[in-house]
Homo-oligomer: A and B are copies of this chain.
Amino acid sequence: MIQIAIMGFGTVGGGVAEVLSRNGMQIAQKLGEEVSLKTILVRHFKDGPYRPRMTDDFARIENDPDLSVVVETIGGVDAAYEYTRRALEAGKHVVTANKQLVAERGAELLKLAKEKNVNYLFEASVGGGIPILRPLCQCMAANQIEEVYGILNGTTNYILTRMVRTGAFFTDALREAQAKGYAEADPTADIEGIDAGRKTCILADLAFGQQVLPESVPMEGISRLSLRDVKVAERAGYRIKLLGRAMRLPDGSRTAYVAPHLIPEDAPIATVEDVFNAIVVKGNATGEVMFYGRGAGALPTASAVVADVIDALQHREKRKEIGWSDNSAGFVGPETLPMRFYFRIDGSLTDAALAFGQVEVLSEDGETAFLTEPIPGNEAANRARNLNVLSKFRVLDT
C-alpha cells in the first residue's frame, strides 16, 4: 500500500481524489500495489467524505514517513513553493499541475529534487490532460527540437471560437465564457496571454534544456482583438488563434513569445475550437507532430497528475532525469525573426504599399487590411510608424 497526500483541494485536487478512487484498480494493476490517499492539506475544513483526512498543518505531511508522494495543487508561488521545497527536502516525490511555480522556480526545484534523488513531475502543468511533456522529452529524445508552438489556453480559444461562429464581440464572448465557468472572475491571466506564456516557458525549458524566464517573454493576449479582424481573416481563409511559440534560432539562441496569429484554415491547428488545446512539436528527425485534447478541466488535468504519481512511483530507485539548466543566457526577443504580418490600417492601399512595398490585400473599404512579405518584427514596426495602425498580428506560415 502506497500512501500519498494532496495539498490544496480545489478543482484539480478534488479531481485527483476522484481519479484515484474511480480508477483505483487500473492504477494498482500498473503499480502492483494500491495507492491510498492518506492526507489532504487544506486552508479551511470542509465537510464531506474526505473530512477525516484533512489537515491544515503542513508538518503533518512533512514529518509523515508513510507518505512517499505529495501532490501539489495549491497554485500560485508562495505557499506552493514553500511546501514543495520542504516536501522535496523531506525526501518525498512531488507532482504538480502548477504552471506558474514550474515556470518561475522549476530549475531550482528540479535541482533540489535531483540532490534528494526524488522525482518532481509536472505533466499536467501544460495542456491539462494532453500528454505533451513526456512525449516531448522521451518520445522525441532522438530529435533536436526546432520549435514548439500551440494553443495553450482554453479560455481564449473559446472566446475566439465564439467570435468566429456567432459574430459575438470580445466582451460578450468573455462574459459567456465566465458564465460557463471557462473564465475566472478576473480573467487577466488568460486574456492577456500570461497563462499561455507560463506554459510556453515550460515547453521551451524542456525543449531546449535552458531556463526561459517568464519576465523575458513578450506576452500579448486577445483583449485588443476586434471582431472586424476576426471577420477579415476568416474571409481571407485564416483563423485567428492565440499561440505560444518557442523556437531555436539558426545561431543557436532561443526565443519565445505569446501573440495572436493568423493561421491558414487548412492547417490542422486551425481547426482546434472551443476550450480544446493543441501543441505542435517540430523535431529535426520526426518533423511535425501535434497533440490535441482538453487543456483544462478537473478530470483531464487530474488524470495527468495521477499518471505522474504512477511514474514517480515506478522510478523510486532510479529517478527520471528531467530538468534544465538554470542558465538563461542565449535568450533573445522575437523582433529579429522574419515572418509575415497582418495589418489593418485607417488608410488606403497606396499608404500600405508606400510603407511595405509588395503586400497582399485582404480587404479595402475605407480601412485597408493586408499581409506583408516576411520581415523581422522590428522592421515591420519601423515601416508602419507613419501609418494609422488599427491592428497588427503575426501570420503562422506552416
Chain A residues near B (Cβ < 8 Å) = 19, 22-23, 26-27, 29-30, 123, 129-131, 134-135, 138-144, 209, 266, 268, 271-272, 283-294, 297, 299-300, 302-307, 309-311, 314, 317-318, 321
Interchain CB contact (< 8 A) of A283 among B283, B290, B303, B310? B303
Q: Are B317 and A27 in contact (CB under 8 A)?
A: no
Instruction: Give CA–CA (A129, B65) in the complex, Å.
Output: 43
Q: Are A289 and B292 in contact (CB under 8 A)?
A: yes
On chain B, the residues within 8 Å of A306 by CB distance are: 141-142, 285
Q: From residue A259, how far is it (CB to closest CB) to chain B in Å?
A: 23
Q: Are B134 and A307 in contact (CB under 8 A)?
A: no
Q: Which of A287, A304, A309 has the most CB of B within 10 A?
A: A287
Instruction: Give CA–CA (A297, B286) in the complex, Å.
Output: 9
Q: From residue A213, how far is it (CB to closest CB) to chain B in Å?
A: 22
Known: A286-B304, A317-B317. 9 other contacts (CB 8 A): A26-B144, A142-B307, A268-B292, A289-B293, A290-B290, A290-B292, A291-B291, A292-B292, A318-B318
Number of copies: 2
Q: Are B268 and A272 in contact (CB under 8 A)?
A: yes
Q: What are 22 residue pairs bridging A and B, where the CB atoms are less than 8 Å apart in the complex?
A: A22-B285, A26-B144, A29-B209, A123-B139, A129-B286, A130-B289, A134-B134, A134-B139, A138-B307, A139-B307, A140-B303, A141-B306, A142-B303, A142-B307, A268-B268, A285-B306, A286-B293, A287-B294, A287-B297, A287-B300, A289-B294, A292-B292
Q: Are A287 and B292 in contact (CB under 8 A)?
A: no
Q: From residue A302, how far is it (CB to closest CB) to chain B in Å?
A: 7
Q: From residue A239, how far is it (CB to closest CB) to chain B in Å?
A: 12
Instruction: Give CA–CA (A209, B140) in the complex, Å.
Output: 25
On chain B, the residues within 8 Å of A318 by CB distance are: 317-318
Q: Which of A134, A139, A266, A288 has the most CB of B within 10 A?
A: A139
Q: Are A285 and B271 in contact (CB under 8 A)?
A: no
Q: Are B287 and A129 in contact (CB under 8 A)?
A: yes
Q: From residue A318, how far is it (CB to closest CB) to chain B in Å?
A: 6
- CB closest residue in chain B, given A145: B26
On chain B, the residues within 8 Å of A304 by CB distance are: 139, 142, 286
Instruction: Give CA–CA (A209, B290) in the complex, Å.
Output: 26
Q: Are B26 and A143 in contact (CB under 8 A)?
A: yes
Q: From residue A140, how far is it (CB to closest CB) to chain B in Å?
A: 7
Q: From residue A326, how far is it (CB to closest CB) to chain B in Å?
A: 17
- CB closest residue in chain B, given A294: B287
- CB closest residue in chain B, given A276: B268
- CB closest residue in chain B, given A316: B318
Interchain CB contact (< 8 A) of A289 among B26, B27, B131, B284? B131
Interchain CB contact (< 8 A) of A143 among B23, B139, B209, B286? B23
Q: Which of A123, A144, A285, A318 has the most CB of B within 10 A?
A: A285
On chain B, the residues within 8 Å of A289 by CB distance are: 129-131, 291-294
On chain B, the residues within 8 Å of A140 by CB distance are: 131, 303, 307
Instruction: Give CA–CA (A311, B141) in the complex, Å.
Output: 9
Q: From residue A149, how far is it (CB to closest CB) to chain B in Å?
A: 14
Q: Are B285 and A300 in contact (CB under 8 A)?
A: yes
Counting from the closest, the 9 A-B pairs by CB-CB distance are A131-B139, A289-B293, A142-B306, A285-B303, A131-B135, A129-B286, A290-B292, A142-B303, A285-B299
Interchain CB contact (< 8 A) of A310 among B26, B142, B284, B297? B142
Q: Are B314 and A286 in contact (CB under 8 A)?
A: no
Q: From residue A12, how far is it (CB to closest CB) to chain B in Å?
A: 12
